[in-house]
Structure 1
């Protein structure tokens, strides 16, 4: 059976999008890993699966799967790509996504730019979650990083010079530190000024990516919490830039950035057994 897919990216963070409301294919870790594999599959950082919403307020139910086959709670760049996909299909500018991290309202700014409300950040140790009680502003690890949940766990290390950090070596180790019950996404941040930062992210289950939307949100939230940044901040990542606004009144994080369609195609489901 041939299954249509769409290849998209948000500043280099790339995705394979499948409309499962039409196809209703079964997924497990083996099939997800095979589809995400860049040599033997289509290749992507994450697989995005769309299906009919379970909440009447939402336009679509969205699931995000990391390259290792695990399901993620949220994905900022992926959410923007879904909005761009919906915009192309329905020609509307406002949508609500239903995700495992909750309902995410979003708005199409123009043909490329999309703004997503990523919701309220959670900073209590149980919400990250951590293995035991700890100060999430200064975790008891070397470098004293900060932690926050943006629908998934993020840990932010603030460094003087990003070029001195090996995010692959460090990320592999830190992602699975025993303190993090569900693992963690690891960000390394160099502040440029109070409204700009340079960020590289090791994504839990996917590795080093050109960009991470939720990681950008987490970096700004943690920088503001530590008095290093303003609530409006430009985040410069390897694949491009995002604008993050942490709304003080509603305690919601708004992410604005570009999206791109790469191509569309189809794959033979029989080549990806469960």
Structure 2
């Protein structure tokens, strides 16, 4: 199966990249000539029969992405579109680590020029996103976060129950949207976090309409260090992928949830989120609309290049 699907892509150049261990197969398609099926994406991302990755990213002009022509017309600066797919071939709205890897790939391919301190825009299924190159990576404005089940969350700060594999008791959780869905669970200590079995998708009830990523988070003690940055640790089961070493939008959702739970004590805007693949930064910043944007920052790198071979 996998050899057949990959054979259909013979001769296609690719790069392999990651952002804090969240890894991707990246393909440039400047003429929008590649129509990838879910089966082909799953074959590319398979860790035994394919290249291997948590997801696949295709760089295509926004104006040539079916269904997003109007987005291109309204946002001419967002020339490139991040066509992101999960490793099982399913479509995802957004991937925060993927955006950083995507930016790094565009620069490495010579498709854009971006100096430290400069910014550019991309199109995505979650709308237009601004990326800024920083000294040690990239900062991505993911826009506002929100509560998926707002009425219930406002009442008791939880809106769902999550039961990990092997647990008899479900845990209270809060569902956050970052343009894609997340369900965040707070745990009391790092030992419980380390012992979680996230091989299978945790049970979530109620589950957001299009499924959800599930984040388990442990706040640091004390939560805020001397530099004023709040510290949390997180593991994640990604929708359509499984457990990953990092999830950028998940880190933002985890910080947003802990911040929401702690809103009666202090409004914390700077966060450091430790994931198995490293550390990412999350900042909540007021915007011109009177709300606040969520800024994700961290490194990204390419680790390999190749050409898909014939069967």
When normalised by structure 1's length, the TM-score is: 0.89
Q: Which structure would you say has the larger Rg?
A: 2
**Which residue of 97, 106, 116 maps to 2:131?**
106
**Which residue of 36, 42, 47 maps to 1:27?**
36
| Closer, same or farther: CA 45–209 of 1 in aligned 2, 3 Å | same
Partner of 2:248: 213
Partner of 1:79: 99
Looking at structure 2, the residues matched to 43 and 169 of structure 1 have their Cα atoms a distance apart, in angstroms, of 19
Q: Deviations over 1:150-199 (max 9, x none)?
A: 11100110111132244444861326x55332111000000001310001
Looking at structure 2, the residues matched to 174 and 74 of structure 1 have their Cα atoms a distance apart, in angstroms, of 22
- Whether the 8 Å contact between 1:84 and 1:108 is mirrored in structure 2 is no
Looking at structure 1, the residues matched to 303 and 160 of structure 2 have their Cα atoms a distance apart, in angstroms, of 42
Q: Deviations over 1:105-136 (max 9, x none)?
A: 011113x410000111121428xxxxxx7437
Q: Does 1:149 align with 2:177?
A: yes
Secondary structure at the counterpart of residue 35 of structure 1: helix
**How many residues are paired up?**
262
What value does the CA root-mean-square deviation take over the aligned residues? 2.0
Secondary structure at the counterpart of residue 72 of structure 1: coil
Looking at structure 2, the residues matched to 135 and 197 of structure 1 have their Cα atoms a distance apart, in angstroms, of 21
- Whether the 8 Å contact between 1:3 and 1:23 is mirrored in structure 2 is no
- Whether the 8 Å contact between 2:31 and 2:61 is mirrored in structure 1 is no
Gaps spanning 5+ residues in structure 1: where? Answer: 127-132
Looking at structure 1, the residues matched to 148 and 21 of structure 2 have their Cα atoms a distance apart, in angstroms, of 31
Q: Deviations over 1:200-254 (max 9, x none)?
A: 1110111111111000010111111111772210001101001100113441000
Partner of 2:67: none
Partner of 1:121: 145
Q: Does 1:91 align with 2:113?
A: yes
